[in-house]
Amino acid sequence: MTARRVTLIPGDGIGPEITEAVLRVLDAVGAAIEWDEQLAGVAALERTGSPLPEATVESFRRSGVALKGPLTTPVGTGFRSVNVALRREFDLYANVRPAKTILHGGRFEDVDIVLVRENTEGLYIGFEATIPVGDDPRAVAQSNAVVTRRGCERIARFAFEYALQHGRRKVTICHKANILKAVSGLFLETARNVAREYEGRVDVNDVIIDAAAMKLVLDPTQFDVIVTTNMFGDILSDEIAGLVGGLGLAPGANVGEGAALFEAVHGSAPDIAGKGVANPSAMLLAACMLLDHLSQSAAADRVRGALEATLLDVEARTPDLKGNATTTEFTDALLGRLG
């Protein structure tokens, strides 16, 4: 198999440590990837003066696919977020966040949910303003959500196509159309229209967002694929990660028409950076999503199997999972299970 060029952004904080672990594992399974390592975040700011150097953007533009570690958003630079900038630059409109039970003994044993979040619209576009009243220059704050029919349609279609391609049975549309009748109403109306095209192939229902949050913690098995808007998806995806052990086990993908970026969705954890105790599981699972995207699913399945077996071994777990293993010890244990 010809190696595929992939942009690699190790990230900040614990990013380089977990990236090193991932590269060892992918090399062990013979992943056909040619890495192009680039900088972003604080590491890039310190070395180049920019948190998102043009060389990184150009590398991603050429490769069309990237694996990214956690990034720290620089404070006081006027740069809002490297993650947001990459989504906007490459129109990565679909955020895919799977959550599946690996560790057992918790409240829920069989969580298997994929959340599909619209990634480019809603409140997060940042159309904000303050309005002075009297002597108070910030007496009123205003934030505008912008939702387009095109944006709603393409994320809904993405969710239904994902369900078909991955053998999923149902898509749940999460919204707040009972109160936000314009922006959430347009999302619900458009998603329902798209759903009609999949009638008889994928089941569909819709749930108000606050009810969905409650239902998830009562019985997550009633959900399969969830599709929702930007801010609601941001909140629900972290809640869903909590059902399976937290963000340390949560991978994510940001997908557009011509590019896809795979990432560990947790933060850069500067408090433990350099201590050798970071958990690489989220980035390993993101790397498996990358391998699937590159039609290297056999390698992805090998990594997933070895990772799950390693996580079930209490002696191999890192401190965030109530173990005592270092990052290197965890990775060595995983590599031993690859055979």
- Residues annotated as catalytic are 124, 176, 210, 234, 238
Query: Length of the chain, please?
Result: 339
What is the rounded CA–CA span in Å between residue 94 and residue 111? 22
Burial environment of residue 136 by CB neighbours within 10 A (0 to 12, 13 to 18, 19 or more): exposed
Helices 327-338, 297-311: inter-axial angle, 10-degree rounding: 120
**Long-range CB contacts (< 8 A, 24+ apart) of 45-49?**
45/74, 45/77
Cα separation, 218 vs 211, in Å, equals 11
Half-sphere exposure of 338 (CA within 13 A, CB side): 21
Say how far apart CA 204 and CA 198 lie, in whole Å: 9
Report the C-alpha gap between 276 and 229 in whole angstroms.
Answer: 37
Phi and psi angles of residue 107, each rounded to the nearest 5 degrees, phi first: -70, -35
Give kind and range of the element (H or E) at residue 205.
strand 203-208
Dump the DSSP string for 80-121. --HHHHHHHHTT--EEEEEEE--S-SSS-S--EEEEEEE-SS
What gap in Å lies between CA 273 and CA 17, rounded to an integer?
8
